[in-house]
Amino acid sequence: MSKPRAKKIKLLLFDVDGVMTDGTIWFFPAPPGVPAANREPALGEDGKPVLAAPSRAFLEAKGFHAHDGTGITLARLGGLKTGLITKRISETVALRARDLRMDYVCQGVEDKVDALEEILKKERMTAAEVAYVGDDVIDLPVMRRCGLAVAVPNAREEVKDEAHIITDHRGGEGAVRDAVEYILQAQGKWHEVVEGYVAARSGRRS
């Protein structure tokens, strides 16, 4: 049932935390020199600034798996477009997406279905041509709308129950790569794409 769905996919979209990462979010105090305007003072119980308390200025960091990065490259070589839709806003995510040359980077999204509809209009695609990989209940509406709903093993049970497939690897540990492989294999492109990828990086032509 899921392979016929995978054969139609032209665009692969991902959640970030728990899918492209293992869900861990690292916060580090902002280093000296961050403009005062970017520093929000801590507030006491009375709602007034506590001058002796440390600043709330911070840097956010996430970890990404190299296999997933290769997976995005393989997807592009296989003719698939890629993107991410996430509720959080992170420069780390923006940097990773630019590094991987992802087609869509939608951050700060409250309603993921709205973001999907905008992408469908731009691409002139149908929802049946889109796959979405999620892990939490906020992903359910967009997963229900897409042609291929993918969950990671570390997803909440409600999400796994509604997914068409569940990846072998957990989020942040190769789940993105699993989703790409599944789709390209269903489309009969996997071996050709891998050979082309290897040849391009070994100085040979396929």
pLDDT digits (tens, 9 = 90+) for 5-14: 999 999 999 9
Instruction: Return the pLDDT at 203.
Output: 67
Instruction: Return the pLDDT at 48.
Output: 54
166/48: higher pLDDT: 166
For residue range 96-106, list pLDDT tens digits in order.
999 999 999 99
Kindly state the average pLDDT of the residues 29-57. Answer: 53
Query: CB within 8 A of 186, min separation 6: which ones?
Result: 3, 6, 7
52/41: higher pLDDT: 41
pLDDT more than 70, % of the chain: 85
- Cβ pair 92, 25 in contact under 8 A: no
Domains, the chain, in order of start with CATH, read: 2-25+63-200 (3.40.50.1000), 27-61 (no CATH)
- Cβ pair 163, 149 in contact under 8 A: yes
- When the pLDDT of each residue in the chain is averaged and rounded to a whole number, the result is 89
Band of pLDDT at residue 69, cut at 50, 70 and 90: very high
Instruction: Return the pLDDT at 50.
Output: 42
For residue range 137-172, list pLDDT tens digits in order.
999 999 999 999 999 999 999 999 999 999 999 999
Kindly state the average pLDDT of the residues 17-43. Answer: 71
For residue range 29-40, list pLDDT tens digits in order.
777 765 444 444
